[in-house]
Chain A
Amino acid sequence: MDISVYVINGLVLFAFIFLLIKDRKKTLKSLKVALSSFISLFPSFMILIIAVAALFSLLPPWFIEHYLGSGSGFMGVLSAAILGSVLFLPAIIAFPLAGSLYNAGATVMVVAAFITTLTMIGFVTFPLEAKELGKKFALLRNGFSFIAAITISIIMGVVLK
């Protein structure tokens, strides 16, 4: 088993016990929030699991390698970034998805571009952002985020070669 499992569970357990001693009532309330967010996210996880498993068994092995792997070049990064900007997916779900794409042969650049745009850019929520914070702010933030995402993915691709 991966060491990250121990690190993550250990860290959360430590934080939980620490806070439990500090404020019992508040911390127990956070368990309630945890349960309700689990219940509301569970269907998305199940759909993701089934979709990924079915898709990966149906797609020929070269498919991901060709469109998202080292053969895809800059077009692969660009399409991953655009896809990530347009999709409206809970970020928590995005990481297992990105992980399985990565294991199936997608490059570091493609994966980094996808999750960075997915989390930072909200195409669907743009009207809401413009309404709350102004059109100019929303345009600038999303525009710069796209440039940042491409830059992040290029640097990561170079460093993690």
Chain B
Amino acid sequence: MTKKKKKLIRDYLIMSGIVIVFVVFYFIFPDKGEISLRSAWQFFFELMLILPAVMIMIGILSVWTTQEMVTKYLGKESGFKGFLIGVLMGTLPAGPLYVAFPVAKALRMKGASVGNMVTYLSVYAAIKLPQILMELRFLGWKFTALRFVITVILIYVMSLFVELIFKKTEKRERVILP
């Protein structure tokens, strides 16, 4: 908590510093400052139209989806069904990717396939729900839909490849799972 608070204070200090630099810049170059102030304001306005919604989505997802849920549903499934569940479980959580590493580790201990771990992590990283909302707003539905579809297909291919490589080498190494 204190570490988190420290980071928060640091972030707000950096932000204040940048605001001050911007204000100084504005007075030194009034014409350029005018243009950038206008675009900054417009950018701010655009963000504020959806940021509260995205934040509430993050809040809902982080309260309603738990690690237990992910390991319960994804732990024993495999094959294409496992992949589909992996996609579903991956789109639901919120948070940075490194938060998902321990979850993937727990999955492995529960006996999930390596392919499922790849699916879960990759979907979590690339196409989780709060990100899709932002992408929809700033890059349009065509871009978002196309990237979603291609990404899901490629993640499937990727999970097959990684699983195959692990199977081949693990036979040789006889790695014992924890």
Chain B residues whose C-beta falls within 8 Å of the C-beta of A144 in the assembled complex: 118, 158, 161-162
Q: Are A132 and B97 in touch, CB under 8 angstroms?
A: no
A52 touches B43 (CB 8 A): yes
Q: How far is the CA of A57 from the CA of B105 in the complex (A)?
A: 46
Closest residue on chain B to residue A20 by CB atoms: B60
Q: CB-CB contacts of B107-135 with A at 8 A, as 1s and 0s? A: 01000001001100110011000110111
Q: Which residue of B lies closest to A31 (CB)?
A: B59
Which residue of B35, B56, B154 has the most chain A CB atoms within 10 A of its CB atom?
Answer: B56
> Interface readout for A92-114 with B: 1 if CB under 8 Å, 0 if not?
10011011101000001001100
Tell yes or no: B15 within 8 A of A by CB. yes
Kindly list chain B residues whose C-beta atoms are within 8 Å of the C-beta of A41: 55
| Bound-state Cα–Cα, A112 to B142, Å | 12
Q: How far is the CA of A98 from the CA of B121 in the complex (A)?
A: 22
Which residues of B are found within 8 Å of A4, using beta-carbon distances? 50, 136-137, 140-141
Given contacts A92-B134, A111-B139, contact A47 B15 (CB under 8 A): yes
Q: Does B79 contact A (CB under 8 A)?
A: no
Please measure, in the bound complex, the distance between the C-alpha atom of A62 and the C-alpha atom of B52, giving whole angstroms. Answer: 35
B62 to chain A: which residues have CB within 8 Å?
30, 33
Give bound CA distance, A159 to B5, whole Å.
46
Interchain CA distance A31-B104 in the complex, whole Å: 27
Contact with A along B41-66 (1 / 0, CB 8 A): 00110110111111111111011100
Nearest-CB distance from B136 to chain A (Å)?
5
A127: shortest Cβ distance to chain B, in Å?
10
A 62-101 binary contact with B (CB < 8 Å = 1; else 0):
0000000000000000000000000000111001101110
A152→B8 CA distance, assembly (Å): 35
**Could you say which of A31, A40, A111, A152 contacts B56, with CB atoms under 8 Å apart?**
A31
Closest partner residue, chain A, to B139 (CB atom): A99
CA distance A11 to B143 in the complex (A): 19
A140 to chain B, nearest CB (A): 5
* CB pair A40 B11 closer than 8 Å: yes
Nearest CB of B to A56, in Å: 6
- Are A44 and B142 CB-contacts (below 8 A) given A38-B51, A50-B22? no
User: CB-CB < 8 A to B36: which residues of A?
Assistant: 53-54, 56-58
Asked if A133 contacts B126 (CB within 8 A), the reply is no
Of the candidates B39, B52, B57, the one whose C-beta lies within 8 Å of that of A15 is: B57
With beta carbons under 8 angstroms apart, the residue of B35, B56, B133 that contacts A34 is B56
Binding site for A on B (CB under 8 A): 4, 8, 11-12, 14-15, 18-19, 22, 25, 32-33, 35-37, 39-40, 43-44, 46-47, 49-60, 62-64, 94, 96-98, 101-102, 104-105, 108, 114, 117-118, 121-122, 125-126, 130-131, 133-143, 146-147, 150-151, 154-155, 157-158, 161-162, 165-166, 169
- Pairs A-B, 7 closest by C-beta atoms: A99-B138, A34-B59, A53-B40, A30-B59, A33-B59, A95-B134, A43-B15
